[in-house]
Amino acid sequence: MFLLSGCASLFPGDPPPEEPAPEPVAAEPDRTPIEPITVRPLSRQPWNFELPGVAIVLTNSQPAYADVAVELAERLDNYEVYDLGGNSEPPINVLRRVNDSNSSVVVAIGLRAARSSVAMSQKPVIFSQVFNHAEHELLTDNSRGVAAIAPLDAQLAAWKKIDPTVVRIGVIIGEGHEDLIEQAQQAADRHGVELRVQVTTSDQETLYFFRRMIRDIDGFWLFPDNRILSGRVLQEMLADANRQQVPVTVPSESMLELGATLSISTVAADIARTIVRVIREVQSGNFETLPPITQLSEIRVLTSGAIQVVGR
């Protein structure tokens, strides 16, 4: 929305009536130069509106979700938090209270919160911390998402900075992530990396392809697709990688304890800032022009006890 400043046109008044005069005498034309005229366009300034009331719906209070909620609370003046992790009432009752509240936008954090909010909310929904959003059909006419993983280009840039020798990187991922694979391929092309991608449907299939792939790669890029990963398979993959001396980059710091080489994860403050930007677009009436998934801007890199935040 814009504040449009109006403009007015000035018209000279009618000249006073002239008295009768003798026949005019020819005179030299007036050669006084005319001052140049500068035309300036109308200025357009955005409205300085306040953010609307926001209902923050959490899957539960685990740090991955609660940290984002805390960062959001620091950036919002009018909000309420609803936690689906308690046993006091079912999600349908919580969403009824959300619909009856004065909030204008719902922010759903985590899969359970996103599924419940998209299914039942009568207000626009912005979901985050959900990797397999396509499988659960979370993108609708009334919902938009924020990326669940750190920006891929920044991930590869950080990885190459730490280990310039990595040139062949393997990826195993579940079905329904064609857009993500395309983004990863584009990032790999920019950084001179050969990407080898395998799509699987189960954890055992993932382990099988990983053991075939590990012979021909010098790095493995793990994505948080829990449909094709189990705790047991993940431990076996990391053990095999360590034996073959193949570095593994993971999306969570907690996986470093299992033997991963490098952790590149999201930043809670960056997620919150991105959500606020999307809320502003919704409040401005630009919901239809929002991308289905808005990308993040920062990464958190952890290796050998050193933490670094890198802006994109």
pLDDT tens per residue, range 271-285: 999 999 999 999 999
* CATH code, domain carrying 292: 3.40.50.2300
Length of the chain: 312
Closest listed residue to residue 264, CA positions, set 175, 99, 168, 149? 149
303 bridge partner residues: 306
In this structure, is residue 168 part of a structural domain?
Answer: yes
3-class SS of residue 298: strand
Q: Give the Cα separation of 143 and 61 in Å (integer).
A: 23
Q: Both tokens of residue 134?
A: 């396509």
Residue 193 has pLDDT above 80, yes or no: yes
pTM of the shown model: 0.81
Please check whether residue 293 is in contact with residue 133, taking contact to mean a CB–CB distance below 8 angstroms. yes
Residues 6+ apart with CB under 8 A from 310: 154, 157, 158, 298, 299, 301
* DSSP code of residue 58: E
Give the helix/strand (H/E) hosting 278: helix 268-283
- Enclosing domain of residue 177: 152-265
Rounded to whole angstroms, the Cα distance separating 168 from 196 reads 7
Give the chain's domain count.
Answer: 2
Lowest mean pLDDT among 22-26, 51-55, 174-178: 22-26
Residue 8 lies in a domain: no
How do residues 135-160 score in pLDDT, each as one tens digit? 999 999 999 999 999 999 999 999 99
Residues 81-121: pLDDT tens digits?
A: 999 997 778 999 999 999 999 999 999 999 999 999 999 99
Mean pLDDT of the chain: 86
Same structural domain for residues 136 and 276?
yes
Residue 241, domain member (yes or no): yes
Residue 70, domain member (yes or no): yes
